[in-house]
Structure 1
């Protein structure tokens, strides 16, 4: 029979997930604009704020390069950008029961998208109007020298002269602007600027006249004719998408590894102290939770519990009460080491016998932004993948692709659900209060010590809320150096504690992902498949 603590976590999960799924954009008739899948983690991934805060941005850095420690801070910011990209790069399998199921092969979104982008083949375009073709050919011969096959090998003297004159005009303008800035910084020069500017302005005018009288009208008319011809929209979009993917693929990790740049909004999502970025506060009591569970209404938590009770049950429940977990958080393996009310050495055992609880937490749905990923490609017509049949990427449906590893990219993770700063209070914790007090006393003074003081290297799961284990920061030589230089020894902003009947779990943790289904694509078979048959 569920106890009050289980009911509390059950109802909390329902409140949050119901709000998340109910806030998806719809048409005026109430239909969702895109099909979505929510993937719920059995235990939250604890997030180290040092690892992800203030990542590098392509537009430049906010780091004061003249300040002491600027170089290590720049390295840390690039590392944060790389870790953000890695955190959001795992693909998930489609499920119908809310399960979080990574691919067994460890499929990654950037690699899968690049493979699709490289193979995309637009269908042959329709014939071009002969009159348009003739105008384009004439314009091309005016601008370029062609070989016997019609390929461009050089520019014509007319076009080279046009480009040289255009460059000279641009340099004259730049010289004028530079001298004007110098005058504005020098009161003496500024006073005589009207006289100083006369020869500079004359130089700009001469360069302009030379440019425009060197056949510019013919050249620009030819350029306009070629641009106006256009390209088949599918071919143009594929070429544009490939160009964007290349531009956004950067070296962020410190080694010769290209990583597509990805960022998360809001930018301060990992910082448990930020209060100005739209976190939603939830407060619920045992009385409310008991009433919610007793109502028997359809809910995410109920269906999730039913579908998982056979594999993760403890006393017939899916695990909405205290459980010990083994392994590090933030890995696929940790999903399989879940589900005991006692630690491995039996020093601590939870009985979940408390009552009269109240729970407070903050949550937010964070959007993953990938400028390198053009999802509108998948809605195009008239393209295929060589050697593949249509809908090999996705057939657009949830039911037929659930737990199916054959589709190349059936859905794309777009948002992740974060909770933070959890507080659970009661004056009637029962025996669990003594267990928590003992655990906290043994780990006090070092948030990492608790990972070895109980559970044999893991921590505690209270439903989907986790605490007391290792945080998500995979170690490497580079990360070890960055974190050693920048980690604060003050854990007051994150970690956990149990005092005066209140279990406080600071910091952020990811508890679920929202993915958008990829529309049916490609829209056609490879034409050679029919010929082969």
Structure 2
């Protein structure tokens, strides 16, 4: 039977492999600056009925307008889409609580509530008039490159097409890096392909270079970043306009939450079929891990993940227990372990959240010192006061897996325990993956189905295993007046 250390290496190897793949870390690329990758202590099963086809403002659903009587099926579909938007909005609105070892848990505080409080307390610091005509002209050009008057509200501004293209080509570049890394990690898992990588690698590297060329040429990378840097160094007028604009945009993207006299922030996830396990494999990448073929350089990975809260081997907890109360089953061996699954990186779009404000100087939050929102570091500790303004990072992507297959010598025996335990409301898993367990929502109850396959278990359904978050820059850069 493998030792605890061996099982630990299995878990941390998978952690590290996935981190490299989704962040695009390889032999020629470093981790992207300003982003962090984190796992949930245990996979969160997703019920597609709770999130599929959420409401959108484009009225794509055929409502049967003109009919003499309302079709109950159409009314139910509309209500379900509105409910699913609320579920989706709540799912991605939690601040993630770090535990210092690369693991996160959704906290009680909400991103949208913090952003609203932040905008309420934001004030610009007036600067003396700019006397240098060249500097004034440069600031005007930078502002016009990034924002333009909102056609629906002349007193507000929205991002320009150029800035939106910049963001789009930036995403395409990081996607190319992820694709390159997936090829690199796959090649390194086989001695033959590893030997030929120096020859084959440049072919895939060309896609990364092409994506960067497109970003520079069509996304105006240099001009946009020059404009951002210029406004970051100056920009009091831009801060005044951006605070006002951000407040209006935030209010505009609030939608009613059913019969409750409350609103929720509008969000979208792409691809939109992310929660449907039967939607096809476009956008999904296959990952396999074989203990017998695993590389031995896992001690560094083990140290990098720390270990606090990480589940090792097979685990379970009862219907009324918390994840932290899980019990590891050492009697179920991980001998002969192999794991395969498909994973996808899902983009989170929050049109009400315009973080360009955080890059501007000469504004403050009333009653707070500078950097009360973020100090720009990856590992920030929750402050003892003014936590309402604290927003060190924002989840921008969610990592999901499906078609999970776990094979070990004891998998068949463990399957019986899983089926017996889940019938009573408990949950089971291996490492970061939930094998069997209940998901429960106001709209539905159920369990991820488990199928016995040759030498192991196949777990149907989609589950969330981690997040990619953007580390917010140090902001605001000015103390509030009269704050000691």
TM-score by shorter chain over 0.5: yes
For residues 384 and 438 of structure 1, what CA distance do their matches in structure 2 show? Answer: 57
- Does residue 497 of structure 1 match 2:476? no
Partner of 1:285: 290
Q: Does residue 1:458 correspond to 2:426, yes or no? A: yes
Superposition CA RMSD, Å: 3.0
Q: Which residue of 1 aligns with 2:116?
A: 114
Residue correspondence of structure 1 range 278-357 to structure 2 within 5 A: 278-289=283-294, 292=295, 294-299=296-301, 301-304=302-305, 306-308=306-308, 318-327=310-319, 334-341=322-329, 351-353=331-333, 355-357=335-337
Q: By how many angstroms is 1:397 displaced?
A: 1.4
Return the alpha-carbon distance in structure 2 between the equivalents of residues 468 and 30 of structure 1: 37
CA distance, structure 1, for counterparts of residue 5 and residue 371 of structure 2: 47
Aligned equivalents of 1:528 and 1:30: distance in 2?
Answer: 46
Distance (whole Å) between structure 2 residues aligned to residue 100 and residue 354 of structure 1: 25
Which of 402, 411, 415 lines up with 1:420 in the alignment? 402
Q: Deviations over 1:285-313 (max 9, x none)?
A: 23123xx2x334522x5532x432xxx5x
**Does residue 1:474 correspond to 2:479, yes or no?**
no
Using the alignment, how far apart are the partners of 1:423 and 1:276 within structure 2?
16
Give 2:263's aligned residue. 258
Q: How far apart, in 2, do the equivalents of 1:404 and 1:288 lie? A: 45
CA distance in 1, matches of 2:480, 2:275: 45
The count of residues paired between Structure 1 and Structure 2 equals: 370
Q: Is the 8 A contact 1:248 1:372 kept in 2?
A: yes
Q: Deviations over 1:37-82 (max 9, x none)?
A: 3232111111101000011111223345476611001100111111
Is the 8 Å Cα contact of residues 5 and 357 (structure 1) preserved in structure 2? no
* Deviation of 1:247 (Å): 0.7
Determine helix, strand or coil for the equivalent of 1:416: strand
Contact 2:55 2:81 in 1 (8 A): yes
- State whether structure 2 residue 374 is matched by structure 1 residue 374: no
**Alpha carbons 1:425, 1:501 under 8 Å: kept:** yes
Cα 1:277/1:65, change in 2 over 3 Å: farther
For 2:412, the equivalent position in structure 1 comes to: 433
Is structure 2 residue 103 aligned with structure 1 residue 99? yes
Q: CA deviation at 1:461?
A: 1.7
How far does residue 415 in structure 1 lie from its aligned partner after superposition? 1.4
Equivalent residue number for residue 512 of structure 1: 466
| CA pair 93-49 structure 1, distance change in 2 beyond 3 A | same
Change in CA separation of 1:7 and 1:253 when aligned onto 2, cut-off 3 Å: farther
Of the candidates 365, 376, 379, which is equivalent to residue 396 of structure 1?
376
TM-score (norm 2): 0.69
Please name the residue that 2:392 is paired with. Answer: 410
Q: Which runs of 5+ in 2 are unaligned?
A: 66-70, 132-234
Q: Hey, what does 1:44 align to over in structure 2? A: 43
1:336-369 deviation digits (Å, cap 9, x = unpaired)? 222332xxxxxxxx61335334322001121111
CA distance in 2, matches of 1:353, 1:405: 44
* TM superposition score normalised by structure 1: 0.63
- Whole-Å separation in 1 of the counterparts to 2:251 and 2:367: 25
- Higher-Rg structure is 1
Report the CA distance between 1:380 and its aligned residue: 0.6
Contact 1:238 1:377 in 2 (8 A): yes
Shift of 1:31: 6.5
Contact 2:53 2:81 in 1 (8 A): yes
The 2-side partners of 1:259 and 1:338 are apart by 34
Residue 354 to residue 111, structure 1, CA distance change in 2 (3 Å): closer
Distance in 2 between the 1:339 and 1:255 partners?
40
CA drift of 1:496 comes to 1.4
With over 3 angstroms needed to count, the CA separation of the structure-2 counterparts of 1:522 and 1:253, relative to structure 1, is same
Q: What secondary structure does 1:257 align onto?
A: strand
Moved more, 498-507 or 361-370: 498-507
Match of 1:239 in 2: 244
Query: CA distance change for structure 1 residues 63 and 327 in 2, over 3 Å: closer, same or farther?
Result: farther
Q: Distance in 2 between matches of 1:466 and 1:374?
A: 35
Distance 1:335 1:404 in 2: 25
> 1:266–1:277: 8 Å Cα contact kept in structure 2?
no
CA shift at 1:387, angstroms?
A: 1.5
Please tell me whether the aligned partners of residues 63 and 73 of structure 1 are also in contact (alpha carbons under 8 angstroms).
no
3-state SS, counterpart of residue 232 of structure 1: helix
Match of 1:55 in 2: 54
Name the counterpart of 2:341.
361
CA distance in 2, matches of 1:233, 1:7: 50
> Quick check: which one's strand share is greater?
2
Structure 1 stretch 45-54 or stretch 499-508: which is displaced more? 499-508
Residue 109 of structure 2 aligns to a residue whose secondary structure is: coil
Unaligned ranges ≥5, structure 1? 130-229, 313-317, 342-349, 443-449
User: 2:218 maps to which residue?
Assistant: none
User: 1:458 offset after TM fit, Å?
Assistant: 1.9
> Structure 1 pair 336/320, CA: closer, same or farther in 2 (3 Å)?
closer
Q: CA contact under 8 A between 1:39 and 1:101: conserved in structure 2?
A: no
Measured after TM superposition, the shift of residue 420 of structure 1 is 1.1
